[in-house]
Amino acid sequence: MDETPKNIVILTGAGISAESGIDTFRDAGGLWEQHRVEDVATPEGFAANPDLVQRFYDARRAAVQTVEPNGAHEALARLDRAWKGELLIVTQNVDDLHERAGAKRVLHMHGELLSALCARCETRHRWSAPLFDRPPCHGCGEQALRPDVVWFGEMPYAMDRIYAALRAADLFASIGTSGAVYPAAGFVRDARELGARTIELNLERSEGSHWFDEARHGPAGQLVPHWVDELLAGADQA
Ligand code: NAD
- Per-residue pLDDT reduced to its tens digit, 70-90: 999 999 999 999 999 999 999
Task: State the catalytic residues.
Answer: 110
pLDDT at 204 over 70: yes
208 CB near ligand 1 (under 6 Å): no
> What residue's CA is closest to ligand 1, atom 29?
25
The C-alpha atoms of residue 128 and residue 134 are separated, in whole angstroms, by 14
pLDDT value of residue 236: 79
pTM over 0.85: yes
Q: CA 223 → CA 35, 104, 199, 228, distances in Å?
A: 32, 21, 12, 9
pLDDT value of residue 34: 78
Query: Distance from the CA of 190 to the center of ligand 1, in angstroms?
Result: 21
1 pLDDT band, cuts 50/70/90, is very low
Query: Distance from the CA of 177 to the center of ligand 1, in angstroms?
Result: 5
pLDDT at 3 over 90: no
- Per-residue pLDDT reduced to its tens digit, 153-201: 999 999 999 999 999 999 999 999 998 899 999 999 999 999 999 999 9
Average pLDDT, the chain: 94
| Residues whose CB is less than 8 angstroms from the CB of residue 191 and which lie 6 or more positions away in sequence, other chains included | 9, 166, 169, 172, 198
**Which atom of ligand 1 is closest in space to residue 206's alpha carbon?**
9
Q: Give yes or no for a contact between 25 and 206, defined as CB atoms under 8 angstroms apart.
A: no
Once rounded to an integer, what is the mean pLDDT over residues 100-106?
A: 98
Mutate which of 11, 20, 25, 182 for ligand 1? The one with the most ligand atoms within 8 Å of its CB, which is 25
pLDDT value of residue 28: 62
Of 237, 238, 235, residue with least CA distance to 79: 235
170 CB near ligand 1 (under 6 Å): no
The C-alpha atoms of residue 137 and residue 45 are separated, in whole angstroms, by 22
Task: Between 188 and 2, name the one with better pLDDT.
Answer: 188
169 CB near ligand 1 (under 6 Å): no
Q: Give yes or no for a contact between 198 and 215, defined as CB atoms under 8 angstroms apart.
A: no
End-to-end CA distance of the chain: 12
